Amino acid sequence: MSGSSRGVMHEQVGTAPSVGQHASRAPRIAIPVLPRRVPLGFLYGSLLLSWIFMAVVGIRYHQWTYPTSLRSAWMNAATFLADPLLVQGTFAIFVAGLLTVYQVNVQRLRGVGPIVSNFFGWAVVIGLIMGTLWILEQGVFKPSFEFARPPQEEAALGEAWLTAFARNAVSVFRERLFPIRATQFQDVPSGFAVRQFILFYLALWIGSQPDFPRLLKLTERGTRNLIYAISTAALAWVIFSRLYRHNHSLLAMSMAAGISTFFFWAGLIATYSMSRRYGARYRRLLYQVLVAYVPFGILFAYASNEAGMWMGFSTVFIVLLFVVSVVSVWRVASAEERLEE
């Protein structure tokens, strides 16, 4: 890279020098590189909003379910055909695509990796996140709230086609892994909403990167707005169709919003703090997250029927974050020492 290049190019070259020669030896599945920025506005804004949403709407109107009088035959068919699981799966592929576009764009400058291996890398990461969420949801979140699903009256529409199929497919596995919880206490939080919120925040995070490339001949702003619009629409549809078909109560949605918002940002900040490159910059956010956990945890515990389990889970979580912050300090310090040598 010539010395005359400045600005954005310069930074990227400065941090990952001389990778360009190794393009032919790129692995089958590329190891994802962390994008540069945590979008602080989204972080603070979504934390505040989801907390207020939980306190004002979710807990206050926790018995609210979608009124059957507002149903229509068209919407019944639409929520059946445009299955939330289908939407979620498609959206997950979309997010992996976005991450790949970003990755390839950055790595083009760094000179690593074909598109397909990058896509697989991110697909594996997203798959792992979704799997972990499912296990957490069945093993921790749902048991620590202990709410049964809304009463399945005559007008209940049941699950949409793909969701019903998938539920049957995993039911044996689920009953073996989580024997008691598999049949009851499935309402709060909505697993679909938790996963969709996480995917939504992933899309916001990647779309708001300062060097995210333009797509479809749009301007930079247009690209961002398109990504935000698609993400919001997918999120709204998943939440709406789960509420519409009486699979969940409003409380399930608000708790899903709170849980996913809080744990997404906590996880993201923990990841950034562990990075040698970004640790020093983002570690301070860990302390803010720790402070914010108390008001969040109080609402979780207040809404739950098994508050003792929430207290135990909170203790484990706070200790984990604390360990992350200590390890982060140590890693960044050791990285600096190595640079000095």
**Binding letters toward another protein, positions 187-226, x by CB under 8 A:** -----------------------x----------------
Give dist(CA 51, CA 53) in Å, integer.
5
Least Cβ distance, residue 49 to another protein (angstroms): 10
Distances, alpha carbon 78 to alpha carbons 62, 160, 173, 233, in Å: 26, 10, 30, 15
CA-wise closest residue to 105 among 221, 229, 215, 7:
215
Instruction: Note whether 338 binds another protein by CB under 8 A.
Output: no
Q: Which two tokens mark 159? A: 């699950």
Q: Binding segment for another protein among 92-100, 132-140, 169-177, 280-288 (CB under 8 A)?
A: 280-288
Among 308, 316, 320, 326, binds another protein (CB under 8 A): 308
- Number of CB atoms found within 10 A of residue 128's CB: 10
Nearer to another protein, 23 or 48 (CB): 48
CA-wise closest residue to 194 among 44, 43, 291, 88:
88
- How many residues sit close enough to another protein to count as binding (CB under 8 A)? 61
Under 8 Å between Cβ of 250 and 191: no
Which residues ranging from 31 to 70 are in contact with another protein (CB under 8 A)?
A: 36, 39-41, 44-45, 47-48, 51-52, 54-56, 59-60
Among 233, 294, 316, 323, binds another protein (CB under 8 A): 294
Instruction: Note whether 284 binds another protein by CB under 8 A.
Output: yes
Least Cβ distance, residue 47 to another protein (angstroms): 6
Give dist(CA 60, CA 51) in Å, integer.
13
Instruction: Note whether 287 binds another protein by CB under 8 A.
Output: yes
Numbers of helices and strands, H then E, in the chain:
12, 0
Nearer to another protein, 128 or 148 (CB): 148
Instruction: Note whether 14 binds another protein by CB under 8 A.
Output: yes
Instruction: Note whether 86 binds another protein by CB under 8 A.
Output: no
What is the C-alpha radius of gyration for the chain, rounded to an integer number of angstroms? Answer: 22
Give dist(CA 112, CA 233) in Å, integer.
34
Least Cβ distance, residue 39 to another protein (angstroms): 8
Instruction: Note whether 184 binds another protein by CB under 8 A.
Output: no
Residues 6+ apart with CB under 8 A from 226: 215, 216, 218
Among 129, 230, 318, 327, binds another protein (CB under 8 A): 318
Nearer to another protein, 153 or 341 (CB): 341
| Strands (E) located in 161-251 | none
Q: Binding segment for another protein among 126-134, 153-161, 173-181, 303-311 (CB under 8 A)?
A: 303-311
Buried b (16+ CB within 10 A) or exposed e, 4-31: eeeeeeeebbeebeeeeeeeeebeebbe
Instruction: Note whether 90 binds another protein by CB under 8 A.
Output: no
Instruction: Note whether 302 binds another protein by CB under 8 A.
Output: yes
- Number of CB atoms found within 10 A of residue 236's CB: 12
Least Cβ distance, residue 64 to another protein (angstroms): 14
CA 270, distance to chain mean position in Å, is 14
Give dist(CA 50, CA 56) in Å, integer.
10
CA-wise closest residue to 263 among 234, 283, 287, 289:
289
Which residues of the shown chain bind another protein in the complex (CB under 8 A)? 3, 6-8, 10-11, 14-15, 36, 39-41, 44-45, 47-48, 51-52, 54-56, 59-60, 210, 276-277, 279-281, 284, 287-288, 290-292, 294-295, 298-299, 301-309, 311, 315, 318-319, 322, 329, 332-333, 335-337, 339-340
